[in-house]
Structure 1
Amino acid sequence: MKTIGQVYIENVKKLFNSQKELADKTFAQLTDNELHFTPDENTNSIAIQIQHISGNMKSRFTDFFISDGEKPNRNRDEEFQERQLTRSELLATWESSWTTLMNLLNTLKDEDLLKTVYIRSEPHSALDAINRQVNHYAYHVGQIVQLGKLIKKDKWSSLSIPLNQSQAFNDSFMKK
């Protein structure tokens, strides 16, 4: 029988993987130039979102139990500067940061969830720190998907049930 901690760790991995999948499916629909598109000076491009999420993820989940989640070598402000990285550079950064996160989650044990970790010198349980990042990444992945939809307009391929197809989905689901 699984413990509540094991169930939580499995669940949080599914949540993170779901967020990554939404972002990955968005990236796949965009050209290299579209990854850098911004509709105005107050909106971050998808490339900047990748830079920020990746920087945050590396900082938070590297040496998770050993050092503060806000690493001294992290330059958060630089993450929000357009660096014109290529698609392959952006995706390599993206994949590397997700590997860092998943490596940590794959090594967690029940008792680790109640250990204290620090983010900007503020103590959190590991469970709380992880939940904080689930929320943070979901927020930014939502921005990535919304910007992808804005860019592609009528060429956007829905990542869920397409508009006006709910009944067909329900009918198909009920037949299973």
Structure 2
Amino acid sequence: MTSPQLDFAGEYLQEALLTFKSMKKLADKTLVQLDDPHFYVALDPESNSLEILIKHMHGNMLSRWKDFLTTDGEKPTRNRDGEFEESHFTREQLMHLWEDGWTTLFATLQSLTPENLLQTIYIRGEAHTVMKAIQRQISHYGYHVGQMVFLGKHLKHETWQTLSIARGQSKPFNP
């Protein structure tokens, strides 16, 4: 790659890292507001509880990000179906899974170099550039973090502490 391409690739990796950190922060700010019983509530039989979402994201993160450049992103040891079964793990167990998944993701992402971005990796046997695989996970985790925030807001309703600018608190932008 030429120098401007390397600069772009390095900037992309930094932005991806910031995006993942922002997602985790939103979810963390949600989880801290909730009581232990909230982790097991699903709005209907087709919805996921926070427990399920945490287990699923953990399983996905370990599968996708461990040995990221050298093995398929769908590890044979992953039990994806089991991620969607109720386990009634304790809050402490769930938070351990949550942190373990993110630690794995951050360590791998921080180990990547601009030269890696166009390298080919595989997820479920399908070829992806490293950049495409990162984008795939940004989309996937953003989807689930949004579900977590929605569920947390629903469960806490009137005691919910907003994660952004509260309604009625926005001021017009005057440059």
Residues 19-58 of structure 1 aligned to structure 2 (within 5 Å):
19-58=23-62
State TM-score, norm by structure 1. Answer: 0.93
Q: Distance in 2 between matches of 1:66 and 1:108?
A: 13
* Pairing 1:92–2:96 present: yes
* Pairing 1:127–2:135 present: no
SS of residue paired to 1:96: helix
Q: Distance in 2 between matches of 1:42 and 1:123?
A: 31
Query: Shift of residue 39 of structure 1?
Result: 1.8
* Pairing 1:146–2:150 present: yes
Q: Distance in 1 between matches of 2:75 and 2:84?
A: 17
Unaligned 5+ runs, structure 2: none
Corresponding letter in the other structure for 1:55: G
Instruction: After superposition, give the CA deviation of every residue in 1:30-62 in whole Å (9 maximum; x if it has no partner).
Output: 011111111211110011100001110110000
* Pairing 1:67–2:42 present: no
Residue 102 of structure 1 is matched in structure 2 by: 106
SS of residue paired to 2:36: coil
Query: Shift of residue 82 of structure 1?
Result: 0.9
Residue 12 of structure 1 is matched in structure 2 by: 16
Q: Distance in 1 between matches of 2:164 and 2:140?
A: 21
State TM-score, norm by structure 2. Answer: 0.94
CA RMSD of aligned residues (A): 1.5
Residue 78 of structure 1 is matched in structure 2 by: 82
Percent sequence identity over matched residues? Answer: 46
Runs of 4+ with >6 A deviation: none
Q: Distance in 1 between matches of 2:35 and 2:84?
A: 20
1:112 pairs with one of 106, 113, 116: 116
Q: Distance in 2 between matches of 1:109 and 1:40?
A: 43
